[in-house]
Chains A and B, each alone.
Chain A
Amino acid sequence: MINIMKKIDVFLLLSVLGLITLGLVALYSSSYTAMSQGVGTNYFLKQLIWAIVGLAGVLIIYFIPHRWIYESAYFLFGASLFLLILVIFFGRMGYGAERWLRVGPMVLQPSEFAKLATVLAVARFISQDSVNLNRLKDFMLAALFIFIPFVLIVRQPDLGTATVFVALALPMFYWAGLKGDNLFLIIMPILMALASTHYYAFLFLMIVLVVFLIYSQRSKMILIFNFVANIVVGLITPFLWNHLKPYQKNRIIVFLNPEADPRGAGYQIIQSKVAIGSGGFGGKGFMEGSQTQLRFLPEQHTDFIFAVVGEEFGFIGIFLGLILFCILLMRGVNIASVSRNRFNGIVAIGIVTVIAFHAIVNIGMTIGFFPVTGLPLPFLSYGGSAMLTNMAMIGLLLNFYKNRFEY
């Protein structure tokens, strides 16, 4: 037993299996009514097959030499970019966007694979000893790895998935040695933009910025440039807001206050909150959730699968899900920190970031913390490409854990 635990991160594996099981249970409940009426897709069975295929993938990746991963990083990155470009020409439409590629009987979503490929490529680049992210040139080059797939996915358009690429950059850079104060300077304008409509929040951030700039021993040029840049961002955001198209504004307003449009864009979030809230502490019971069974809950097998868990298993079920994600992510961070191989560590952090970002945004969306972006919940939401990618990531983490003492 002890021996196995040295070779396999059991906690990580168990948490993943737990999450997959939770997802399958929710999918079964969600598909049950439609299936019993002889209509609808058996998402449960399909997802089960994907999970088994995924587990096989985990097994394969677990056993391949970890150097191969490093070697193939750029190739995989190139291949995924190629697929993304193919989507532009041969993509299948869905929800008003081209996201899918048909390969034989399967429909693939290249942007899912691109996430992992980008993590690998960025990690390979920034893990080189010659690269110092605190240098502007190296930083820009690293950023370019992210920018290319980001642009390709934005124009599909799939803004939700594209934001993942932005999100994974900073934790990986930080892990690879980007200094905290540089990180601060990158994050600050984003915060400024968000705070720009609120007078006191903006004032507070300006004070924080000034204090920081005074205490950081930088050249006057950088200080002034930073200060001016932040003010410009703060001033330009409200101006840009006023130049948004009405429907774009509407989306943001509805995100902030879903009740404002209960029949349109707010409908999904309201129904999700009703499902989760009405679940209460113990839930309504397996296959007993009225929001789920009577189909008031939209997109319940993908985007809002966590609301199914919330309605039928209550706060207990939700808490179990959250704990499992926490264990998974923390084990991932642990693998990053114990890996002697610098590339493996950075990849592990990238993987943790991708999974964490999906989980947080998706779960936050179900309770109205975030807008409806279409990001699936890893291991729970129905979707073959996502399942395979996520399982490949777990395979990599387990591989790195096994090889944690190797350079």
Chain B
Amino acid sequence: MNLSGPDIKKYVFYISIAGVFLALSFGFYRLQITESSFYSQKSIQNSVKMITRIPVRGNIYDRNGKLIVDNRPAFSLYLIPSETTDHTIQVISKLGNIPEKDIRDKLRKAGNFQLVKIIRQVDMATLTWIQENIVDLPGVEWKSEPKRHYVRTSGLAHLLGTLGEVDDRELEKESQLEPGDVVGKKAVERAYDDILRGSKGFKFVKVDALGRVVEALSTDKTAEPYPGDQLFLTIDLRLQAYADSLMDGKRGALIAIDTRTGEILTMLSKPDYDLSNFTGIIPTDIWNKLLHDPYHPLYDRACQSAYPPGSTYKLVAAIAALNEKIITPSWSTDCPGYFQLGRRTIHCWKGDGHGVLNLAGAIKNSCNVYFYKLGLLIGIDAWHKYSKLFHFGETTGIELTNENPGLVPSREYYNKTYGENRYTRGMLANLAIGQGELLVTPLQMAQFVSILANRGTLYKPHLGYKLLDPVRKSWKKIPIRSERIAGIDSSVFNFVLKGMREVVDGGTGARATLYGIPAAGKTGTAQNPHGNSHAWFIGFAPYVNPEIAICVLVENGGSGGHVAAPIAGAYMKKYFYYEGKYDYSVERRIREIAAKRDSLRADSLRALNVPEPDTLESD
């Protein structure tokens, strides 16, 4: 072989060709043998698309099986990024009232051929319009997605809560969720979301490079969607509706609890709003109106807002004083209508005073002076201890999120706020009558009065009653949890409950009287910096073997006895009426007789020229 002749050139070419082709073979070997499984996976990902099928969300019923929420057919709009034009984005932006930028961002985040949900639940008119104009709107798709339907337009919003598109934080918490999913955002819908939601179904299809479905595939991961459980609430829809009518036009809350179980029969916050406006695109004007309403209808007054409890809280002071043996029930003091504390003079609600009162009289007449003096005797530590014993200053643990724990100030709190020992005795006296820094929620008050009715046993207030699996037809009861408030003598309960009975039986809470069923309660008229006093009533009935506990709050309503007590009374009557234990005709007859008696007496008094006595006084 001649190294400089044509032979070497030939071999240079042979070796070069062989070398390059060997290198190429190696490249193919690596792709097709070594990394084949990786690319096979990619190839499957390319052509096999998973189609998620959303299950039907569980209905919500009341305790008697009456429907509260179900689902109605609706459609959601989607865009396919690869086909969507600027014109489509402009139109959809206007239809859905969504900024164009938001749509573009959503599209950018998604794959080219992936459906991106843009508008949740469009109305039929919009959908029809889109179907008619689909030729000019490339990239628009729609999918059936049932929307919530509510049996009432009022009285349910704060209880049930809204649904909404899942956010990033929720996505992180739960792996089952995907962007675009609809989840419960508030209240019951949120608390029972995982139960109501059901489980998604999965279908696999083969698609081509343009995202067109070529054929359906069956795999072991294929699954039918499983509908969510039907949720039965402890709520009685009839009573909820009745409470709604009682509270109509007012601001405040009404909560009624079955004392024997802790089941909440009614939980109402007013003003509220129509949930059906929240099932799809919220009309801007409605949203703005809700947002800028000075009375904040979006706020749940039943457990999200905290208020000074006023005189209703005197019961805590009474229990603390008796149980700590600071006083005996016979301890008496004089109420001249005012109380001199250092240089300050504090007034009783009754200007000319109650005269000499013992504890029973002080509860019945809700005397402020008596409880000022009592508060000073009890002291901050004992007062704080009993407040905490009744679970004030902490959430009740009801299923709802956003529950406000309220505030029960302690010695440490005052030291921190005002400086070591810089707080005055007047502040202490104020706490005893339920004023000052103390803040409670209506739900806490309802829980409190339910503990009293049960003489120290707490059935945790709750909204979930039972669940029904709609496919297996199997029921699941939601357990009742209870706890014993330890260390309070039964004689203390006897005394305080008797006092509460007196309140309704001719005391400040007389307007809550049920004819034929003895009720007990306590009124409250809480001063506050936001205007008129808040009207409170807490109570239970029957006095013996109680069934129902109630808390009524009317924000800036004025006198508890005049405003809150009648609402509570009316509600309890309705409750017993539905239970078959209350006869409105008896009440009517008694009222007629009383009216006749009153007019007779008025006539005779007028004849004798004697001035008419004061009607019921109230706190």
Contact = CB atoms under 8 A, between A and B. Distances in A.
A360 to B, nearest CB: 6
B536 to A, nearest CB: 63
- Most chain A CB within 10 A, of B9, B31, B38, B214, is at B31
A233 B611 CA distance: 120
A273 B31 contact: yes
Contacts of B12: 174
A55 to B, nearest CB: 25
A337 B47 CA distance: 50
Interface in B354-396: none
Contacts of A278: 36, 39-40, 42-43
B18 interface: yes
14 contacts: A171-B13, A273-B31, A275-B43, A281-B32, A290-B206, A294-B209, A294-B214, A295-B210, A296-B208, A315-B28, A329-B17, A337-B9, A349-B13, A367-B27
B39 A276 contact: yes
Interface string B445-474: 000000000000000000000000000000
B420 to A, nearest CB: 65
A310 interface: yes
Contacts of A329: 17
B209 A296 contact: yes
B220 to A, nearest CB: 20
A263 B21 CA distance: 30
B501 to A, nearest CB: 77
A349 B44 CA distance: 44
A182 to B, nearest CB: 14
B10 A280 contact: no
A141 interface: no
A290 B28 contact: no
B486 interface: no
A98 to B, nearest CB: 29
A325 interface: yes
Contacts of B35: 277
Contacts of B43: 274-275, 277-278, 290-291, 296
Contact of B10 (A263, A314, A333): A333
A290 B10 CA distance: 43
Contact of B207 (A174, A294, A322): A294
Nearest to B81: A263
Interface string B231-273: 0000000000000000000000000000000000000000000
- Most chain B CB within 10 A, of A277, A281, A310, A330, is at A277
B279 interface: no
A271 B39 CA distance: 10
B402 interface: no
Interface in B215-242: none
Given A277-B36, A281-B32, 5 more contacts: A274-B46, A278-B36, A278-B39, A314-B32, A367-B24
Nearest to A175: B9
A337 B7 contact: yes
B577 interface: no
Interface string A323-353: 0011001100110110000000100010010
A319 interface: yes
- Most chain A CB within 10 A, of B13, B39, B40, B112, is at B13
Interface string A179-207: 00000000000000000000000000000
A291 B46 contact: yes
Contacts of B21: 322, 325-326, 360
A290 B31 contact: no
Interface of A: 171, 174-175, 263, 271, 273-281, 290-291, 294-296, 310, 314-315, 318-319, 322, 325-326, 329-330, 333-334, 336-337, 345, 349, 352, 356, 360, 363-364, 367, 369
Contacts of B14: 330, 333
B27 A369 contact: yes
A389 to B, nearest CB: 21
Contacts of B47: 290-291, 294, 296
B55 to A, nearest CB: 30
B32 A276 contact: yes
Contact of A315 (B32, B38, B44): B32
Contact of B24 (A174, A279, A322, A352): A322
Contact of B25 (A271, A314, A322): A322
B9 A330 contact: no
Contacts of A330: 13-14, 17-18
Given A295-B208, A333-B17, A318 B214 contact: no
Closest 7 CB pairs of A and B: A277-B39, A278-B43, A294-B208, A295-B209, A277-B31, A337-B10, A315-B32
Interface in B16-60: 17-18, 20-21, 24-25, 27-29, 31-33, 35-36, 38-40, 42-44, 46-47
A277 B42 contact: yes
Contacts of B17: 326, 329-330, 333, 356
Interface string B100-136: 0000000000001000000000000000000000000
Contact of A310 (B20, B32, B208): B32
Contacts of A363: 24
Contacts of B207: 294
A263 B42 contact: no
B109 to A, nearest CB: 12
Contacts of A273: 31, 39
Nearest to A353: B13
A275 B12 CA distance: 34
A356 B14 CA distance: 12
A280 B33 contact: yes
B209 A367 contact: no
A49 B137 CA distance: 43
Contacts of A369: 24, 27
B294 interface: no
- Most chain A CB within 10 A, of B28, B40, B214, is at B28
Nearest to B10: A337
B6 interface: yes
Interface string B78-115: 00000000000000000000000000000000001000
Given A281-B32, A291-B43, A315-B32, A174 B9 contact: yes
Nearest to B207: A294
B28 A318 contact: yes
A273 B46 CA distance: 13
Given A274-B39, A275-B43, A295-B209, A318 B32 contact: yes
Nearest to A306: B28
A263 to B, nearest CB: 7
A236 B209 CA distance: 43
Contacts of A315: 28-29, 32-33
A295 B211 CA distance: 10
A97 to B, nearest CB: 25
A397 to B, nearest CB: 14
A352 B17 CA distance: 10
Given A278-B42, A349-B13, A364-B27, A326 B18 contact: yes
Contacts of A310: 28, 31-32
- Most chain A CB within 10 A, of B40, B43, B112, B207, is at B43
Nearest to B30: A367
A162 B308 CA distance: 88
Contact of A280 (B7, B13, B36, B206): B36
A271 B208 CA distance: 13
- Most chain A CB within 10 A, of B17, B32, B33, is at B32
- Most chain B CB within 10 A, of A294, A330, A334, is at A294
Contacts of B27: 364, 367, 369
Contacts of A352: 13
Interface in B584-605: none
Given A318-B28, A360-B24, A367-B28, A280 B40 contact: yes
Contacts of B46: 271, 274, 290-291, 294, 296
Given A294-B206, A333-B14, A279 B32 contact: yes
Contacts of A322: 21, 24-25, 28
